[in-house]
């Protein structure tokens, strides 16, 4: 019995580590900010715990609040994205020392792209909904509790259009932000290998189902909360303190949390779990259908930029302009559904419920 419990405990730890790597690797490697992640201590000290704890705690919160509907999950993704203010200070300060695409700000402190693009789209979708889609597609324990992940993996026309559009967007961003082909390969290859090996292990019949449970145990939840709170407190004071704006701007940013809490409370209580997909999805759909195409598009973007810099810059501009546009559209669509019951009923058929 003790040996079985130890094996189950080890399996649980390995699953949580794999989920944390998934949560970090997808948004950060796609964004190009996770370059050479395998050999960087800061990734393991800060990046992987930050993304993994956000994913696990917010998914656990959604289930315990019975808020697993699409509007609720999107709003939780926005909560995820607000770390860019308190930790990296990107929302307030932008990227002043880095070349790249800039859209200005709402006044001197709040960036347009950093809020509308990063918070409302990139982190809500790429940092939260994308890893969640992979987990729900692969693992029955997650699929039984969250909306069907067919918004990304559906084989019908609209599913393919959503998937291809996002693959093109993510690929262009990845190739644009990691223009060196050697660096690009050295970043993507170990991530794909690690995620594939982890998925193969998780899908074995001998892996205990309880190890893949999306609900955190009391000790897991307490440890995760304390760990994440420590990350916020330490990085707020010690990481780039010169980028903190006036107190009034920080209070304005903090006001987003109670507003999101109200919207979350008014959101539909649970999601549509109906799906015609198999009980367990195939890793091939994840890797050959999504991750490898993103990698290939990014590599093609590097080649295009090397051959024709203006064309490469034009593709990047389209991608970076699309991010805030999609973010605003998602916020208006899912936010309005969350806040106003009449609109929720009127737009119900438009939800990606399959």
pLDDT digits (tens, 9 = 90+) for 35-59: 999 999 999 999 999 999 999 999 9
pLDDT digits (tens, 9 = 90+) for 232-261: 999 999 998 988 989 999 999 999 999 999
- C-alpha closest to that of 253 among 142, 150, 107, 121: 107
- C-alpha closest to that of 300 among 172, 170, 210: 172
pLDDT at 84: 93
pLDDT band per the 50, 70, 90 thresholds, residue 22: very high
Please name the residue ranges forming H helices in the chain.
2-31, 41-42, 48-64, 70-81, 83-86, 90-93, 112, 130-138, 140-143, 150-153, 157-177, 181-202, 218-238, 247-254, 256-266, 283-286, 292-307, 309-339, 341-346
All structural domains of the chain with their residue ranges:
2-350
Report helix, strand or coil for 97: coil
Q: d(Cα 137, Cα 277) in Å, to the nearest integer? A: 9
- C-alpha closest to that of 272 among 129, 163, 144: 144
127 CB-near residues (< 8 Å, 6+ apart): 23, 26, 27, 51, 54, 55, 77, 80, 81
Report helix, strand or coil for 89: coil
pLDDT digits (tens, 9 = 90+) for 314-345: 999 999 999 999 999 999 988 877 677 666 55
pLDDT at 100: 45
4: pLDDT strictly greater than 80: no
Residue 106: strand pairing partners: 110
Residue 56: strand pairing partners: none
- C-alpha closest to that of 271 among 69, 75, 74, 133: 69
Bridge-based pairing of strands 110-111 and 105-106 is antiparallel
Give CA angle at 353 (262, 200), nearest 5°: 105
Question: What percent of the chain shows pLDDT beyond 90?
Answer: 66
Question: What percent of the chain shows pLDDT beyond 70?
Answer: 87
């Amino acid at each position: 019995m003790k040996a079985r419990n130890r094996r189950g405990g080890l399996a649980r730890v390995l699953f949580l580590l794999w989920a944390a790597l998934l949560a970090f690797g997808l948004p950060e490697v796609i964004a190009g900010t996770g370059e050479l992640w395998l050999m960087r201590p800061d990734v393991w000290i800060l990046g992987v715990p930050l993304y993994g704890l956000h994913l696990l705690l917010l998914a656990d919160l959604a289930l315990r609040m019975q808020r697993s509907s699409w509007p609720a999950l999107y709003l939780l993704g926005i909560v995820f994205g607000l770390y860019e203010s308190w930790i990296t200070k990107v929302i307030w300060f932008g990227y002043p020392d880095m070349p790249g695409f800039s859209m200005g700000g709402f006044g001197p402190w709040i960036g347009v792209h950093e809020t509308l693009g990063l918070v409302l789209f990139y982190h809500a979708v790429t940092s939260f909904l994308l890893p969640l889609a992979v987990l729900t597609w692969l693992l029955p324990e997650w699929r039984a509790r969250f909306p069907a992940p067919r918004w990304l993996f559906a084989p019908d026309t609209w599913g393919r259009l959503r998937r291809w559009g996002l693959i093109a967007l993510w690929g262009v961003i990845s190739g644009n932000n990691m223009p060196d082909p050697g660096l690009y390969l050295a970043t993507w290859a170990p991530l794909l290998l690690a995620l594939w090996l982890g998925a193969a292990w998780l899908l074995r019949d001998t892996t205990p189902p309880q190890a893949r449970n999306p609900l955190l145990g009391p000790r897991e939840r307490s440890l995760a909360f304390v760990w994440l709170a420590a990350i916020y407190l330490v990085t707020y004071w010690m990481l780039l303190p010169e980028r903190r704006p006036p107190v009034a701007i920080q209070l304005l940013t903090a006001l987003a949390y109670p507003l999101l809490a109200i919207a979350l409370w008014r959101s539909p209580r649970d999601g549509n779990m109906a799906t015609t997909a198999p009980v367990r999805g195939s890793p091939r759909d994840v890797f050959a259908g999504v991750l490898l195409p993103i990698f290939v598009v990014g590599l093609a973007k590097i080649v295009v930029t090397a051959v024709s810099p203006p064309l490469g810059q034009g593709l990047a501009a389209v991608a970076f302009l699309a991010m805030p546009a999609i973010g605003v559209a998602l916020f208006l669509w899912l936010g309005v559904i969350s806040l106003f019951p009449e609109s929720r009923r009127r737009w119900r058929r438009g939800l990606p419920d399959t």
